[in-house]
């Protein structure tokens, strides 16, 4: 059954925390700009001087495609359809291995700044321009969705103007990227990744307290048929099966982590090839942790709202 529930709004402390997060991201960019003011080379700005280490790069790799869409969308997916989404963990393992052992050595040894430089080396300049143009178009569309999802959530919770939130969010991102270059992007991602994981843990912990423990949440999910993940039906038209997620997901995530410029630029900023490879394997663990927490958050929401569906 459904029933009306009061819509929660931000308290003063919520606004303080939110403002702190936004200002924190901008402050990281400003700090990196001041710290690196003596070295204004393109190598420093675009690749952090190729001196980054594996762990921060790994967290940045994880955060770059585990965005507000993941925070909002994955728990909702699990709430409605169950934990099949967790099978992407197998895809992450396959993707990380292929990317680290095949693509990282190629790009790292070439010493390139852009993945699309390889297209010119291998083919010609026209192919490079076509690939670059497609990447720019895809990134523009993806970035719009990534910014819109949390902006819409803020609009619904706070009543703030949607376009105002969109512009403010975009402005902060532009400021810290422009001021601090890749180092600012990576360290801001580390900061935001920590906040994202803390948010998931807070939701799960609060839900477990309300419901009487994780065992109760798991039992509710079992009774609601939300734990059915391993569907080996070969029909490609099914919404989610083991094959569509593991095989299709591996191809999709490899295309992102192996050759997408936003990811390539991160791992070739590492000080050695060993660090670059390690960043992808640590990123794999980060992806596992993120998707597991997102799935548990979705199950927690299901346990709480199973008898009073807000959707």
For the chain, the C-alpha Rg in angstroms (whole number) is 21
pLDDT of residue 273: 92
* Structural domains of the chain, ranges and CATH numbers in brackets: 12-305 (1.20.1730.10)
Could you report the per-residue pLDDT of 162-204, keeping only the tens digit for each?
A: 888 888 888 888 888 888 888 888 888 888 899 889 999 999 9
Q: How far apart are CA 50 and CA 110, in angstroms?
A: 13
Mean pLDDT estimate for the chain? 86
Task: Answer yes or no: is pLDDT of 278 > 70.
Answer: yes
**How would you label 192-219 residue by residue, b for 16+ Cβ within 10 Å and e otherwise?**
bbeebbeebeebbeebbeebeebeebee
For tokens 């009073």, what's the residue? 308
Q: How far apart are CA 185 and CA 60, in angstroms?
A: 8
| Count of CB atoms situated within 10 Å of the CB of 152 | 15
Q: DSSP H helical segments within the chain, as ranges? A: 12-35, 42-47, 54-65, 68-81, 88-98, 104-110, 115-122, 125-158, 162-211, 214-223, 242-259, 261-267, 273-305
pLDDT of residue 276: 92
DSSP 95-123: HHHHIIIIIHHHHHHHT-SSHHHHHHHHS
Give the pTM.
0.86
Could you report the per-residue pLDDT of 74-90, keeping only the tens digit for each?
A: 899 999 999 998 999 99
Query: Would the CA dihedral through 150, 152, 156, 160 be positive or negative?
Result: positive
For tokens 């079992």, what's the residue? 222
Task: Answer yes or no: is pLDDT of 154 > 90.
Answer: no
Q: How confident is the model at residue 73 (pLDDT cuts 50, 70, 90)?
A: confident
């Amino acid at each position: 059954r459904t029933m009306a529930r009061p819509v929660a709004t931000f308290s003063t402390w919520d606004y303080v925390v939110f403002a702190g997060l936004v200002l924190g991201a901008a402050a990281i960019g400003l700090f990196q700009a001041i710290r690196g003011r003596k070295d204004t080379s393109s190598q420093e700005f675009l690749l952090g001087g190729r001196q980054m280490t594996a762990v921060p790069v790994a967290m940045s790799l994880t955060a770059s495609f585990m965005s507000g869409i993941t925070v909002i969308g994955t728990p909702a997916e699990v709430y409605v359809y169950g934990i099949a989404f967790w099978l992407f963990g197998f895809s992450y393992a396959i993707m990380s291995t292929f990317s680290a052992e095949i693509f990282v050595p190629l790009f790292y040894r070439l010493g390139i700044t852009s993945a699309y430089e390889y297209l010119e080396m291998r083919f010609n300049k026209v192919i490079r321009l076509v690939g670059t143009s497609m990447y720019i178009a895809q990134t523009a569309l993806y970035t719009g969705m990534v910014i819109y999802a949390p902006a819409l959530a803020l609009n619904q919770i706070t009543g703030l103007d949607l376009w105002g939130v969109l512009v403010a969010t975009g402005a902060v991102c532009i400021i810290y990227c422009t001021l601090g270059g890749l180092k600012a992007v990576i360290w801001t991602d580390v900061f935001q990744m920590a906040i994202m994981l803390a948010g998931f843990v807070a939701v799960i912990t609060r839900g477990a307290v309300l419901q009487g423990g994780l065992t109760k949440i798991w039992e509710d999910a079992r009774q609601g048929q939300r734990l059915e993940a391993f569907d080996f039906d070969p029909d490609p038209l099914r919404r989610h099966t083991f094959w569509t997620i593991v095989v299709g997901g591996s191809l999709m995530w490899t295309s992102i982590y192996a050759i997408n410029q936003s990811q390539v630029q991160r791992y070739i900023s590492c000080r050695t090839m060993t660090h670059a490879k390690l960043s992808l394997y640590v990123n794999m663990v980060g992806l596992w942790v993120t998707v597991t927490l997102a799935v548990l958050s979705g199950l927690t929401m299901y346990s709480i709202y199973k008898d009073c569906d807000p959707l």
